[in-house]
A and B are shown apart, each in its own frame.
Chain A
Amino acid sequence: MAIRIEHLEYVYSAGTAFERKALKDINLTIGDGEFVALIGHTGSGKSTLIQHLNGLLRGTSGRIFYKDEDIYAEGYSMKALRTHVGLVFQYPEHQLFETDVLTDVCFGPKNQGLSPQEAQREALWALEQVKLEKSFYNQAPFDLSGGQKRRAAIAGILAMHPDVLILDEPTAGLDPQGRDEILGLVKSLHEEQGITVILVSHSMEDVANYASRIVVMDHGSILLDGTPKEVFAHRSELEAAGLAVPQVTRVMDDLAQEGWIVDRNVTTCQEAAAQILNALHKEKHVQA
């Protein structure tokens, strides 16, 4: 088990007029090598939750275990935890600061205590993983495009060799092509490096094709937890939480209601196309 969360609660601005409960009794276990998508409407607590996983926020109550060790135990090194659980924030602008991309990516490994040469080796490896072209290595990070900045930011975390990679809305503000590239990159990291991935998003379309498990959050608690098919079967609950099932699932659901013999729980276009063709085929035969 990579991460286990037990009865985690978090209260913002405790004791003031602005007190707000952001997390309510969260129980969640994430296994080694899983690809989990954490989905929720804006303000559902998903970003708050992931900041607990590497100790940036400390729960008001409850416990978190990383590899069966209590991270709130006395003497547990948060700094060490942060090298195991890498967190890439939503805005790459918040972490890029050096004069060139390569030096910037070296920042993490250097903080881990590696020598400049070793740090550079890790940085080069990480940049290769995120498929950033070599010509960008010596450019200022601020001259890169949105998608390239995001790659540089991911490389900055990857260079520290985390076992768990958490990405907070990695596709926000990217065009469709950039989005597919980043998500494809995350998927290949998951498959090739065996990294446990937690992907935070509010777009069902994004995660349906990539994640093997979806956790839906609403108002600070976990609403649904299961495979994409299981989760998308709860269309009305998702819509009540301000989320939509992928368009293709919606189309199939509507077709099924119209009396077509198709599977309601379809999550990808390919599956849907096969199902529809199949149904049309049968119809044709019946007519003939």
Chain B
Amino acid sequence: MLRDITLGQYYPADSVIHKLDPRVKLLGTVLYIVSLFVFGKPVNYLLAAVFLIILIRLSKVPVSFMVRGLRAIFILMLITAVFNLFLTPGTVVWQLWKLKITKEGIRVAILMVIRLILLVMGSSLMTLTTTPNDLTDGMEKGLGFLKKIHVPVHEIAMMMSIALRFIPILMEETDKIMKAQSARGADFDTGNLIQKAKSLVPVLVPLFISAFRRANDLAMAMEARGYHGGEGRTKMRPLEYHRNDHIAYLVLAGYLAIMIAAKMLT
């Protein structure tokens, strides 16, 4: 049940996108998201969608996989659409007592939903084509300049990769604990909100204890292998830009130029 979440899951495949430097993909994703917010015209959304479809094609990730990530935000999309539909002032198309749908409302609601879909698909494209380790590596190197103002970039990156690594482990553990307590007659599904919250105590206590124990063991294992923070630490595979990465930056620049041009000209 808990294992069905796909947001943030890596999909192994041999593609141009997979092989790109994680820094390119990180910056690309950030710029893509920004572009969705800055350029709000329908033609921009169309261009952004085309760009994304090409990238998905190149990444060889099955579309069904991408769409599955959307299910998680379905409720959010629904709420956004409904609010925009009913609360945008403008020319009234349909009215029932105080509820009214306006022409502008329909327009905004559709654009908002498209924006959300592009947002989620764009960022899941990054997580699906980049291993969590590469991602934090890229973040560490890409934000390395912050070290000059005493931001512990390496430590933050290390914490992130550990946290990401432990998500599946803790999920599995939760599953096991819930089963062990169900075998003792625990009931997680019935009762009101307070009873349900109370019924989680027998799950949370063992889970927390095991998380702390794991953290302790991990810290010990890291120290036993000589870990002492980022100072003077070398990488087995240092990140380096290759030809494809430079091309990717050019493509990204081209995308932004077209977006700006499209906004200006329409």
Contacts and interface: CB of A to CB of B under 8 A. Distances in A.
Interface of A: 13, 51, 54, 56, 79, 82-83, 86-89, 91, 93-97, 107-108, 111-112, 142, 156-157, 160
Interface stretch (B79-87, B182-190, B217-225): B182-190
A87 B177 CA distance: 13
B184 A95 contact: yes
Contacts of A82: 182-185
Interface string B19-61: 0000000000000000000000000000000000000000000
B3, B182, B184 — which one has the most chain A CB atoms within 10 A of its CB? B184
B206 A94 contact: yes
B177 A160 contact: no
B173, B201, B205 — which one has the most chain A CB atoms within 10 A of its CB? B205
Across the A-B interface, give the 6 residue pairs with the lowest CB-CB distance, nearest first: A111-B185, A97-B205, A95-B180, A108-B184, A94-B180, A87-B183
A157 B183 contact: yes
Interface in B160-194: 173, 176-177, 179-187
Instruction: Please report whether the interface of chain B is mostly helix, strand, loop or mixed according to DSSP.
Output: helix
A61 to B, nearest CB: 20
A142 B183 CA distance: 20
9 contacts: A79-B185, A79-B187, A88-B183, A93-B206, A93-B209, A95-B177, A97-B205, A107-B184, A111-B185
A13, A93, A107, A112 — which one has the most chain B CB atoms within 10 A of its CB? A93
Size range of the interface on B?
10 to 19
Contacts, number: 61
Interface in B117-153: none
Contact of A51 (B3, B179, B185): B179
Nearest to A12: B3
Given A95-B206, A96-B206, A89 B185 contact: no
A97 B55 CA distance: 49
Contacts of A111: 184-187
Contacts of B181: 95, 107
A94 B210 CA distance: 8
A171 to B, nearest CB: 17
A95 to B, nearest CB: 4
Contacts of B173: 94
